[in-house]
Chains A and B, each alone.
Chain A
């Protein structure tokens, strides 16, 4: 068994009672590129955080065997000292410092103790960059003057400078275009020749097929299986099946007595460009229609552009050079600000309640009424406090927010109850169209069920509901119709009857292949 550089045995990690990892096993051979696949939230990143010491020894159960040694990492430094380096999806570069300085950040080249030897820093940075195919870069320019692709390679150079033996890449190509991605994957293959072991987490199955020697599939915090190239069936379809093949139980309440009416929400030819880069198109000619009483899903991988789509609709909260038309209840509306959107009876429930949804130091009532206040709870700018209290108490009861009173501070509530407060906040604005972005992210099963009940109730009252979710079963369980979005375009539309997880993934893959072919022409 000595050909394994890393063995993670029976790893179990709980977050306040919820098992993110349950008896996970991972074995990585020395010198191979090992891929980890799974849906969003399956536990891939958690596993890597356990390995690298972000979750210190003692906060998880199980055993890590690295180069035959039992490891007890207490932080990132411990694991890096052993040659394990993790590169996260969000780059950890200091944008205004030079390339050379970034390569040796936290690992400075010093002459005397604490005094930086700039000559050695620059010389060795050039050496490191050469190993990742950046031999012609000027190491003195600030790192933010380079593109994302090169920055990702500089992250790898930084890892090499730390004498990495096991390199972990978490979604390294998520922000890269095809050419940059290919270059990065080829660098990985070169590193492999130099004896460096790699673990790659990726959603892009074609890349995994191209670069990896074996793949471990994780689903719902369990290891499903490990496939080896040349031994097992290594096709994308095979991997997809392992990723999504779960039994669907009665986790979604049945929607009854809903009459689907006319189209009340229509978006035509919606185009959006990146807020910082006016040449980078994020969304291309998106067209969608939603009927009253209908629940429509937007499915897609992380970074497909779903949230960007919703936010650009919602008072241009994302992007620039936005073009296209929006019709609500048959009338074309101009949504230049969030206020316009609220007045046009559109609501958007953000995917990140703590950053974009709640004032955590405010109480339940304040949070619930803040958006609806100008229109429904005030006269001439003066708040009608009694109406607010009555409404907040009504909603607290209606969607079952568990708290002693509406004066409780929101930051002290559980994730599920916080989410219910955000949902109540937007229901209070009395919208006709609700966009719910990852409405059940990070909340427990019971609260999820209650949120699904709210979605059903909204549909029943004739609202148009759009659900954005990375959890395919959720999309399938709650939606009447699904738009699949990939790389900023509608990759397909599936009806309730047709939709399966495999169909959605195939839709995405087909669109990616089409994009690759177009790109190569």
Chain B
């Protein structure tokens, strides 16, 4: 083994930059709103309001990794929500039938877009612009331009419900023991995985970060976890949406980093021709990325309609832009081939904190759009400039 003279590397600031940005933005609004965005209820709202954007950002990241985007997700969200609504309200059927039907519709729209993109070679921008228009039109037709609701409480649980709680009196309110236990488990898992990853690095003689940087990184992440869970425990406990999010983040984090299929998306985004000549069926990869996006859009559609307790024709309007922006803010490369699930999720929360903070501060949605646009442009500009410096 050749001796490695650079045993230690400095932490890649860019990799963790978005975490710092997240915290910084949050703190700025904490000051501006005089702490209004730190209340347990607001933290809970942050998660519930952004659940569907996080779900969409996860799927969108795969599209962005290929170097493309999916403009149709907002419309698919609306279609799936309205299908679920029609089945429950008009056909008076069971909520499970509604959920399965919504997922199937999402799957079909994914297959539809994937087929055109992968096997007919239609550019994703055009294909998904079409599904965006078609989906919106279909939603208005299905709902006859009216809101359908209210849905049954058991369905609404998906978007607005909480996991079981064990509340004990604490301070001027209550504390949920379940939330605290989950936070302890999450912290242990985080520390364990960090130790394991460093052990692996040492085993193969890779450069590792200096210990103080690892400790700092862990401390920041533990702080974020405990802050969130503590606030949630002071409110109604863990939202069901959080469970869905965590499961999806886990699954897709695993797929993108540890499976052959996941790494093929990166290879395709990095260099499609080289990927083809490496035995990767790039058409197939494209197809499944868009099918997957369809299914995740359906999940987001179910969560959104459940949270609203109704299906509305305008549901999900503009969600595609939030999801795309989340990926870019989270460090995904516009040209494809680079980006991470965690990055996209953090990007989604940065957008969410901005929205939430500005609303609390009393800025209108018009101003909010200007700020969000500026943040997106700034994040991508920083990314591009930092790459250019390296040559």
Contact = CB atoms under 8 A, between A and B. Distances in A.
B222 interface: no
Given A317-B276, A385-B258, A404-B6, A360 B271 contact: yes
DSSP class of B's interface residues: helix, strand, loop or mixed? loop
> Which of B204, B261, B333 counts the most chain A CB atoms within 10 A?
B204
A337 B284 CA distance: 13
Contact of A405 (B206, B266, B277): B206
A461 B4 CA distance: 31
Contact of B281 (A314, A337, A373): A337
Nearest to B268: A359
Interface in A359-418: 359-362, 366, 370-371, 373-374, 378, 381-383, 385-386, 389-390, 393, 397, 404-405, 407
B270 A373 contact: no
Max chain B C-beta neighbours (<10 A), residue from A317, A337, A357, A370: A370
Given A361-B337, A366-B267, A407 B206 contact: yes
B278 interface: yes
B364 interface: no
A359 B274 contact: yes
A393 B204 contact: yes
A371 B275 CA distance: 8
B216 interface: no
A355 interface: yes
A374 B267 contact: no
A415 B273 CA distance: 19
Given A317-B276, A337-B281, A361 B4 contact: no
Contact of A338 (B1, B204, B261, B277): B277
A397 B280 CA distance: 27
B266, B270, B276, B337 pick with most chain A CB within 10 angstroms: B270
Contacts of B198: none
B259 A425 contact: no
B278 A378 contact: no
A383 B338 contact: no
> Interface on chain A toward B: helix, strand, loop, or mixed SS?
mixed
A356 B261 CA distance: 20
A156 interface: no
Contact of A355 (B259, B274, B280): B274
A93 interface: no
Contacts of A362: 266-267, 270, 337
B90 interface: no
Nearest to B258: A383
B273 A355 contact: yes
B369 interface: no
B366 interface: no
A357 B271 CA distance: 9
A342 interface: yes
A383 B277 contact: no
A508 to B, nearest CB: 28
Nearest to B271: A359
B120 interface: no
Contacts of B259: 378, 381-383
B260 interface: yes
Given A338-B277, A366-B263, A361 B270 contact: yes
B279 interface: yes
Contact of B277 (A348, A361, A386, A389): A348
A373 B263 contact: yes
Contacts of B281: 337, 339
Contacts of B270: 359-362
A383 B262 CA distance: 10
Contacts of A370: 263-264, 267, 275, 278, 280
A350 interface: yes
A180 B259 CA distance: 53
A405 B273 CA distance: 26
Interface of A: 314-315, 317, 337-339, 341-342, 348, 350, 355-362, 366, 370-371, 373-374, 378, 381-383, 385-386, 389-390, 393, 397, 404-405, 407, 425
27 contacts: A314-B277, A315-B279, A338-B276, A338-B277, A339-B281, A342-B279, A350-B274, A350-B277, A355-B271, A356-B273, A356-B274, A359-B274, A360-B270, A362-B266, A362-B337, A370-B264, A370-B267, A370-B280, A382-B259, A383-B258, A383-B259, A386-B200, A397-B1, A397-B2, A404-B4, A404-B6, A405-B206
Lowest 10 CB-CB distances: which A-B pairs, in order?
A: A359-B270, A371-B278, A338-B279, A339-B279, A359-B271, A342-B279, A378-B260, A370-B278, A361-B337, A362-B270
